[in-house]
Amino acid sequence: MILLSTNERDLTSDYIVLELRRRGLPYFRLNSECLPEASITFDPEKGIDSWVVATDKQTVSFSDIKAAYFRRPGNPEVNRYANNAAAKRYCESEWGSVLTFALNSLGERWLNSPLTIMAAENKPRQLALACKIGFSIPNTLITNDFDKVQSFLKKEVIVAKPLREALIKSDDSEKVIFTSRIENITEADKLSVETVPVIYQKEILKEADIRVTVIGNQAYTVKILSQEHIDTKTDWRRGSRIDLPHHIHELPPQIHEKCITLVQELGLRFGAIDLILDKDGKYWFLEVNPNGQWAWIQNRTRLPLTQAMVDELEKIASC
């Protein structure tokens, strides 16, 4: 049995489900928002993974799960207390804890465990490890010290990006914080700079952006021609351009091996690495997303990412 921990709207998990069905592999898709509609039990005398989840379609014991993919689970949704906000919040918090406890019981059966993902999202750790492995990284300053940012800007053309969270949510909207070029800061910006630490880096003049999807011992690379449009030059995600060219790309062998080593050193079996290819043909490490998106790459390039993901899950299940 293979577990997919995700949500109802996650299209990427649909790709995995189709491949599992094609191979005739048993699976359980646990959509987090629907968990309160299920019956769940735990018996400590039967072990840490004795959780049993029963829905109207399927009953699964976690002791029967041989491999698992932590994709995009969200918060469980409780609907029976719609008129009592406090009771609703309390119940959803308790269900959230149950979900966390149950998922963490699976230990080494994860493609990437929730706890390992959380640890690997540490961008300062990523940068330090990348340096240790031998990647080139842009000159970097993580700070909320206005004077140090101003001094850094005098030496370099810089970009700024969030340390962790790139999404600002309000009750009725969401705003994405993209990587942005910083050309000048003045005393009028002092309060903003000092409010929260930010990652500041020397801007690397790009030939293209490089996305490396590492799955097990394989690395699948695409070259994203981000410099063809003004709005994607600094951050290729800006504008969500569907016409942004993606081409299968071959990394130099030493960069290819460094990507696989980095993901493994972070304790991961899967990671999505962002690199820059500069105008002199040099590769620069930016970051690795331990739970990144990949389905759009398969759609654009026909790289066999779904098959590779399920291959890796089968390897885990056979151990």
The SS3 of residue 228 is: helix
Residue 118 in this model has a pLDDT that exceeds 90: yes
Check whether residue 178 and residue 261 sit in a common domain: no
Check whether residue 250 and residue 309 sit in a common domain: yes
Check whether residue 106 and residue 145 sit in a common domain: no
**What domain range is 155 assigned to?**
139-203
Check whether residue 130 and residue 150 sit in a common domain: no
Give the model's confidence band at 81: pLDDT under 50 very low, under 70 low, under 90 confident, else very high.
low
Q: Which residues are registered as beta bridge partners of 97? A: none
| Nearest CA-CA partner of 140 in 205, 216, 203, 218 | 203
Check whether residue 231 and residue 309 sit in a common domain: yes
Check whether residue 190 and residue 49 sit in a common domain: no
Residue 249 in this model has a pLDDT that exceeds 80: yes
Average pLDDT over residues 27-48: 95
Residue 82 in this model has a pLDDT that exceeds 70: no
What pLDDT is stored for residue 29 in this prediction?
A: 97
Q: Is 9 within a domain? A: yes
Average pLDDT over residues 299-319: 97
Alpha-helical (H) ranges within the chain are: 11-23, 85-104, 114-120, 123-133, 146-155, 190-195, 253-265, 295-301, 305-318
Check whether residue 216 and residue 284 sit in a common domain: yes
The mean pLDDT value of the chain amounts to 93
Q: Look at the chain and count its residues.
A: 319
Check whether residue 314 and residue 244 sit in a common domain: yes
Check whether residue 125 and residue 252 sit in a common domain: yes
Sign for the pseudo-dihedral over CA of 128, 138, 175, 147? positive
Q: Is 115 within a domain? A: no
| DSSP-assigned states of every residue in 61-124 | EGGG--EEEE---------TTTT-HHHHHHHHHHHHHHHHHHHHTTGGGBSS-HHHHHHHT-HH
Residues 166-184 have pLDDT tens digits of: 777 666 667 778 888 888 8
Give the model's confidence band at 243: pLDDT under 50 very low, under 70 low, under 90 confident, else very high.
confident
pTM, two decimals, is 0.92
User: What CATH number is attached to the domain comprising 240?
Assistant: 3.30.470.20
What pLDDT is stored for residue 173 in this prediction?
A: 66
Residues 265-293 have pLDDT tens digits of: 999 999 999 999 999 999 999 999 999 99
The SS3 of residue 56 is: coil
Domains held by the chain: number: 3
Check whether residue 145 and residue 226 sit in a common domain: no
Residue 13 in this model has a pLDDT that exceeds 70: yes
Q: Is 227 within a domain? A: yes
Check whether residue 127 and residue 226 sit in a common domain: yes
